[in-house]
Amino acid sequence: MMLAVIAMYFTFAYDLVRSDFIKLISLYTALFLLSFKLIQLQKLNWKLLLGLGIVCRLIFLFAIPNLSQDFYRFIWDGRLIAQGINPYLSTPQQWMQSGNFEVIEQSRQLVEGMQALNASHFTNYPPVSQGVYALAGMLFPKSILGSVIVMRLVLIFVDIITFIFICKLLKRLALPTHQAFWYFLNPLVIIELTGNLHFEGLMVMFLVISFYFLLKKKWIWAAVLFGFSVSVKLLPLVLLPLFFHYFRKQEKLNLYKLIGFYGVTFLTVLLTFLPFLSVELIQNFGDSVALWFTKFEFNASVYYLIRWIGFQTIGWNVIGIVGKILPIVILLGVLVVSFFRKNNSEKILLISMLFAFSIYFLLSTTVHPWYVVTPLAISIFTRYKFLVVWSFTVIFSYSAYGLTNFDEKLWLVVLEYLLVIGFLIYEWKKEKLRFS
């Protein structure tokens, strides 16, 4: 069974193109079923499962990512920083048009690889992520594969550290420690983080370690690490309101320390941005982030339903309007979870975090498969398993990529979310019965 898993990951890494959806979904389904069967059968054999997880990641070491072009932009940004150039102040297309493209080795190949949509926009990757890109740029300024290997080794190391702290948290919460493998051996985590070089894994690592220190009431260290998590991806900002009741009710914590926690978090984020700080950065970064709600749309749930209603009633795409309203709805949803739910214990707080992330992604206009990794990590500390279901169904979204065109199969999007939301409702009702 383990040899079959290893063989399939090798095929995934070196003999798969994104447009071959039948092969992709077949491999992924088999990997998903075999991985969870191995966890079920070998959950007490930690060395075996940990070793398997590391080997499966190392298989990808020399592979160029085959499901995403984002890594070309990572390399571009990293090489700019390695040359002492601020990556937030210009787009790759502007660089190419200015005639300065010779400053960046393999510039044409990188811009063609990231494609026009990415190359025409300012970077929206925060500074801690940029630090890893810069490391790759400094070590391998002329080799795309070399840069890929550097980033991949960092992400493999990050996943191992994350696994260690997930285990520590599970022990502290008196939960079965083998649940850590639901994250560490999940094909979505291995393929999207190690395989396709998405940095959600680094964000999750800082977030998990931050929560570990918070449970130990070391709130200053927790805030610093939370700030680092935000400086990998901005997503953890969604969680900040949830800490109100927790700090208010816990021994050794109080509202003054909550204010301190927020202050240290924002100071950490500010310090990471400091080397790049300028008026142009604020404008360019803000414009780039805003695009995710007002221009881009992919694999959405609630938004696609609203978009369909818009086409039926007024005859045009309402993303420009709805994309400005949905963030407000998300904020209101998170505030409801924060203040109308008694988040005064670690387990309840983690469930609230899970639902805050779920609200965010269910109302987002864009949900790429690797986005699901973050709520999946939080779900490991709860009884809810609908994120495990989502970590399988989200792969349906790759059906949109053909050889020459992009065409979302909306029936598969509907199936994806019906399965996820259906399982969520089932678990919600089961949880209510358990306490009734």
Segments making up each domain of the chain, as ranges? 2-66+149-435
| First-to-final CA distance of the chain | 42
Full-model pTM: 0.95
Whole-number pLDDT of residue 435: 45
Of the candidates 164, 140, 141, the residue with the CA atom closest to the CA atom of residue 150: 140
Tell me whether residue 59 is exposed, middle or buried, using C-beta atoms within 10 angstroms of its C-beta: 0 to 12, 13 to 18, 19 or more: buried
- Dump pLDDT digits (tens) for 323-368: 889 999 999 999 999 998 888 889 999 999 999 999 999 999 999 9
**Cα distance between residue 198 and residue 413, in whole Å:** 22
Whole-number pLDDT of residue 209: 98
Report residues of the chain scoring pLDDT below 70.
432-436
**Cα distance between residue 152 and residue 78, in whole Å:** 14
Is residue 220 within 8 Å of 176, Cβ to Cβ? Answer: no
Is residue 197 within 8 Å of 153, Cβ to Cβ? Answer: no
Q: How far is CA 296 from the centre of its chain?
A: 17
Is residue 274 within 8 Å of 388, Cβ to Cβ? Answer: no
Whole-number pLDDT of residue 210: 98
Q: How far is CA 79 from the centre of its chain?
A: 23
**Bridge partners, 401 (sequence order):** 406
Is residue 344 within 8 Å of 246, Cβ to Cβ? Answer: yes
Tell me whether residue 366 is exposed, middle or buried, using C-beta atoms within 10 angstroms of its C-beta: 0 to 12, 13 to 18, 19 or more: middle
Measured from the Cβ of residue 309, the count of other Cβ atoms closer than 10 Å reads: 12
Whole-number pLDDT of residue 313: 86
